[in-house]
Amino acid sequence: MPAEDDFTVTPYAVEGDVDYDRLLEQFGADALTDDQRAAFPDPVHPLVRREVFYAGRDVDAFLDAANAGETHSVVTGRGPSGPMHVGHVFPFYFAKYLQDRTGALVYVPVSDDEKYLLKDESVGAISDHARENLLDILAVGFDPERTRIVVDTADADVVYPLAVTFAKDVTQATVNATYGDPVNVGLSFYPAVQAAHLLLPQLVEGRHPTLVPVAVDQDPHVRVCRDVAAKRRYDVDKPGALLSKFLPSLDGPGKMSSSADAPGILLSDDREAVFEKVRTRAYSGGRSSVEAHRRRGGNPDVDVSYLLLYYFFEESDERVERLAREYREGSLLSGELKEIAAETVADFLEAHQERRASLGPLEAELPKFRLAEAERRNARRRAGFPDDSLAQQ
């Protein structure tokens, strides 16, 4: 970011008070229009209609295909660096919404290799995180006939050949300009792996519009991949992007974290843990006393309890508007708003946890979502590997 910016947004670091409009200028993305929001399947998801997903690239092509019943796909992945929190899971629930409403194909890359390169953890620890994360992803309830989950180290027979092919179109200068100086050679190569993730649906199914719903800090991966696709050496379209704001940290508006200094609400948290975190850690937009709050009202725009409801956990627009109005008027107190938010989040987590508990062992559940051998052959062939290549031996 330029020196005058007082925030940093990269795939590996988010710091400061993020100016989302200025990010669009820096990244060259476009704000979603009212017409684009209205073109999402009915009912339009709260994340779209409330402008949490606020910008994108080539969104129209995806929406046109979805509304016409033509082939279209969604790619949204997970880097298994630890337990998942609620900020990690909302893109998966959004992808399920698209799959349910439009029949979208959903591809879920799990980048265990990237997280090993980034984190001071063993391969075994990252693998354990991946197993737990996969169960949470499966608990979302995707259709196995229209969903493929790809784990980089387990699916290296398809990911690596594609990445090597795309790496030829990514220079080190591009990597440095987009990400900064990588801390190791593995991260220099990783943008090519990300390109393999984002182009995989087209390499399996044939050319079609793809949408990547991600938090805005992940947009650099999409930009590099779009540059690769633009080389036209491959029969693919540039992947589109749908960029979201960050679900707020409990410590205040910003990116939710699972680190100790800014705890997130984990998908494994029970009701008691949710209430404790929201009551004691959720930043309040209220006044310093009940009397002052009754007289002057609070600010829901910075109140984390309200933002949790607004961003994802409350379906009803009427209810979130009423809560904001009452909070500004002072008739709704901060403590009362925290109780409402904690109850709503806890209900969501209990339903998620029940679905996860109903799953069988990962070894029994995951095979239904893995690439079939014919799909692997299609991907390698469309990337230029002949049908008799050693990758298939």
CATH number at residue 52: 3.40.50.620
- What is the mean predicted confidence (pLDDT) over 111-122? 93
142: number of CA atoms within 13 Å, CB side?
32
Question: Is the CB of residue 211 less than 8 Å from the CB of residue 73?
Answer: yes
> Confidence class of residue 180 from pLDDT cuts 50, 70 and 90?
confident
- What is the mean predicted confidence (pLDDT) over 91-95? 97
pLDDT at residue 66, rounded to an integer: 97
Distances (CA, A) of 104 to 67, 128, 259: 11, 30, 34
275, 235: one domain: no
pLDDT at residue 153, rounded to an integer: 96
- 17: exposed, middle or buried (Cβ count in 10 Å: 0-12, 13-18, 19+): exposed
pLDDT at residue 380, rounded to an integer: 93
241, 303: one domain: no
Asked if the structure places residue 259 within a domain, the reply is no
pLDDT at residue 361, rounded to an integer: 97
pLDDT at residue 19, rounded to an integer: 78
Does the N-terminal peptide bond of residue 43 adopt cis geometry, omega within 30 degrees of 0?
yes
CA-closest candidate to residue 170, choices 123, 115, 212, 233 = 233
CA-closest candidate to residue 72, choices 91, 58, 82 = 58
Position 393 pLDDT exceeds 60 = no
Q: Domain boundary at 245, 262, 285, which? A: 245
pLDDT at residue 260, rounded to an integer: 45
Asked if the structure places residue 260 within a domain, the reply is no
pLDDT at residue 1, rounded to an integer: 39
- Which residues, including other chains, have CB under 8 Å from residue 281's CB and lie 6 or more apart? 250, 251, 263
Position 257 pLDDT exceeds 70 = no
296, 238: one domain: no
- What is the mean predicted confidence (pLDDT) over 45-59? 95
pLDDT at residue 253, rounded to an integer: 66
72, 216: one domain: yes
Percentage of the chain surpassing pLDDT 90?
79
pLDDT for 125-152, tens place per residue? 999 999 999 999 999 999 999 999 999 9
- What is the mean predicted confidence (pLDDT) over 220-237? 90
240, 331: one domain: no
- What is the mean predicted confidence (pLDDT) over 62-87? 96
Question: Is the CB of residue 211 less than 8 Å from the CB of residue 72?
Answer: yes
178, 327: one domain: no
CATH of residue 333? 1.10.240.10
189, 311: one domain: no
pLDDT at residue 178, rounded to an integer: 87
Asked if the structure places residue 53 within a domain, the reply is yes
pLDDT at residue 259, rounded to an integer: 45
Q: What angle do CA 365, 369, 371 make, to 5 degrees?
A: 135
What is the rounded CA–CA span in Å between residue 116 and residue 81? 8
pLDDT at residue 134, rounded to an integer: 98
Q: At what angle do helices 20-27 and 219-230 cross, to 10 degrees?
A: 20
Asked if the structure places residue 366 within a domain, the reply is no
Residue 240 DSSP class: E
Q: Does residue 295 sit in helix, strand or coil?
A: helix
Q: Give me the amino acid identity at 80.
A: P
Q: Does residue 3 sit in helix, strand or coil?
A: coil
Q: Domain span at residue 161? A: 24-245
Asked if the structure places residue 364 within a domain, the reply is no
| Structural domain count of the chain | 2
Other residues' Cβ atoms within 10 Å of the Cβ of residue 350: 13
Asked if the structure places residue 166 within a domain, the reply is yes
Question: Strand 210-215 vs strand 105-110: parallel, antiparallel, or unpaired?
Answer: unpaired
283, 241: one domain: no
Window from 1-5, 128-132, 155-159 with minimum mean pLDDT = 1-5
N-term to C-term CA, the chain: 46
Position 15 pLDDT exceeds 70 = no
pLDDT for 289-338, tens place per residue? 999 999 999 999 999 999 999 999 999 999 999 999 999 999 999 999 99
Percentage of the chain surpassing pLDDT 70?
92
Asked if the structure places residue 215 within a domain, the reply is yes
Asked if the structure places residue 370 within a domain, the reply is no
53, 172: one domain: yes
227, 325: one domain: no
Window from 25-29, 161-165, 200-204, 227-231 with minimum mean pLDDT = 25-29
241, 288: one domain: no
Q: Where are the alpha helices (DSSP H) in the chain?
A: 20-27, 34-38, 46-49, 59-68, 86-102, 112-118, 123-139, 156-167, 172-179, 185-205, 219-230, 271-281, 290-296, 304-308, 317-329, 334-357, 362-365, 373-382
152, 56: one domain: yes
pLDDT, the chain, mean: 91
pLDDT at residue 262, rounded to an integer: 59
pLDDT at residue 234, rounded to an integer: 84
pLDDT at residue 237, rounded to an integer: 95
